[in-house]
Amino acid sequence: MKQPLIIIVFVLLFAGCSPRNPYNRSYVADKVRQQQQYEINQEKKAGKFDVPPGVELSDGVTEDEAVTVALWNNAQYQADLVGLQFAQADLTDAGIIQNPLVRYLSPNGGIVAQGYIYFYLDAIWQRPNRVAAAKRDAHRVAENTIQRTFTLIRDVQNAYA
């Protein structure tokens, strides 16, 4: 009797763990660094123009510096990077199992004290599929962001030429 109970508790604890998302900002930065040798900045404040480290605007702007400035300051690109955080939130939400609903009716009049617990078994059953779908979506968002990064780099290089 003890062994099945331990297995059930282990499964419920494991099912409650938050899924890990490998497709985040560092994933995109690594892919861009591997193929184009450009760095993507960490999160920045919206609407603020930042000059990346190593870029000196007073001596003229090289093509690489122009690309770096665009990667750091392009508003649409920064919005695309925020999409990665939304994908992470969707993945976290897909991994959440709702708390059981506990109801209690107190006795008054002709009602006898009663209560019940409603547990969302379908959420446990569907959780792996929801997590897998959210991971696929996060991968799609990351790959689209990488493609948009390369498009931005190409556009800046064409404008510079």
User: How far apart, in Å, do the first and last CA atoms of the chain sit?
Assistant: 75
Q: What pLDDT shows up at residue 145? A: 97
pLDDT band at 149 (very low <50, low <70, confident <90, very high): very high
The sign one gets for the Cα dihedral 143, 149, 153, 159 is: positive
In percent, the amount of the chain with pLDDT more than 90 equals 43
How many Å apart are CA 56 and CA 69, to the nearest integer?
11
Q: What pLDDT shows up at residue 109? A: 63
Is the pLDDT at 155 greater than 70? The verdict is: yes
CA distances from 50 to 76, 111, 133 (A): 15, 68, 36
How many Å apart are CA 55 and CA 15, to the nearest integer?
48
Q: What pLDDT shows up at residue 148? A: 97
Contact 137, 56 (CB under 8 A): no
Which of the two residues, 106 and 131, has the higher pLDDT score? 131
Helix, strand, coil share of the chain (percent; to 5): 65, 5, 30
Which backbone phi and psi does 118 adopt, to 5 degrees?
A: -110, 115
Cα Rg of the chain (Å, integer): 25
pLDDT band at 17 (very low <50, low <70, confident <90, very high): low
Scan for tokens 């494991």, then name that residue. 14
How many Å apart are CA 91 and CA 137, to the nearest integer?
9
pLDDT band at 16 (very low <50, low <70, confident <90, very high): low
pLDDT band at 11 (very low <50, low <70, confident <90, very high): low
Give the model confidence (pLDDT) of 48-101 as tens digits.
888 888 888 888 899 999 999 999 989 899 999 999 999 999 999 998 887 777
Q: What pLDDT shows up at residue 60? A: 87
Is the pLDDT at 115 greater than 80? The verdict is: no
